Amino acid sequence: MKKVVFGIVAVVAAVFAQETNATYVMLGLGQPQIDDLNDRLQSFNYSAFEKQLISYGFGFYSTVGGKFLMGFEWSCAKSKETTSKDGSVKEKLENSAWFINIGGMLINADVIRIFPYLGLGRGELVLTLKEVSLPSFDDIISGPAGVTKLETGGFLLNPALGVEFKIGGRYILGIHGGFVFDPSTGDWKVEGTEISGGPDDGLTGPWANLVFGLGT
C-alpha cells in the first residue's frame, strides 16, 4: 500500500513539475467598504479610519495541462491604531481573507504571464475598541468594559487578473488586482453572537497587490 501511495505522489509531483508554477509574497492596498462604519463611529465621538489599508500575504498556483490554473492566496491588513476624539478609547480595524483560486492562462510566454482567475473563500473585518485606562476587576463584573471586538464577514467572491514577468528564468515580479464581493455586508457579531443594527459595511471593494516570488 505504501508503494502505491508513494507512486501516486511521485506521478503527481512529476506532472506538476512540468507545469507552470509560482510561489510568491504580496504587498498592496485594499479598500473595503467602510463609509457607513466611519459615519457611525464619528456620530459617537470616535475617529474615522482611512479607507485604504495596506495588506500583505502569500500565495501559490500551478497549471494543469498548461492552461487551467489552480491556486491559493491568504492576506491580511491592519489600520493604524487611532484614539477616539475624547481620548478614552483606542480604535483598530483589521481584516483577513483566504481564497482558493481557479482560472486560466491567457498568455504564458517565457517573459510574461497574463491570467484571469476567480477566488472563492472567506474573510472577516474586525473592529476593536479598547479603553485607554485599564478597568478594575469590579468594573468588569459590574458591566462590559475593557476590550470589545465587533466583526463581520463570511463567504467572499474575488474576480481578479494577474500580470507577471519572469526575471532571470526563476523569479517572478508582477501585479495582481481585482474586486472582492462580500454578500454578508451588515451582518455583525460580538464574541460570535449576532447583533442587529450594524453598519452596512464589509470587505467589498477593489484591491491591488505587488507580487514577488519564485516560478517555473
Per-residue cell: 130: 479598547
State the pLDDT at residue 116.
Answer: 98
10: pLDDT strictly greater than 50: no
The answer to the question of residue 150 being in a domain is yes
Collapse the DSSP code of 215 into the 3-class scheme (helix H, G, I; strand E, B; otherwise coil) and give the result. strand
The answer to the question of residue 98 being in a domain is yes
Q: Which domain holds residue 114?
A: 21-215
The model's pLDDT over 90-103, given as tens digits with 9 standing for 90+, comes to: 899 999 999 999 99
Beta bridge partners of 22: 61, 215
Phi, psi of 161 (to 5 degrees): -135, 135
The answer to the question of residue 114 being in a domain is yes
State the pLDDT at residue 147.
Answer: 72
The answer to the question of residue 145 being in a domain is yes
The model's pLDDT over 69-90, given as tens digits with 9 standing for 90+, comes to: 999 999 999 888 888 888 788 8
pTM of this prediction?
Answer: 0.82
Q: From CA 59, how far away is CA 191, in angstroms rounded?
A: 30
The model's pLDDT over 65-74, given as tens digits with 9 standing for 90+, comes to: 888 999 999 9
The answer to the question of residue 11 being in a domain is no
The answer to the question of residue 74 being in a domain is yes
The answer to the question of residue 81 being in a domain is yes
202: pLDDT strictly greater than 80: yes
Q: What is the CATH number of the domain that holds 32?
A: 2.40.160.20
The answer to the question of residue 38 being in a domain is yes
Q: Are 114 and 107 in contact (CB under 8 A)?
A: yes
Number of separate domains in the chain: 1
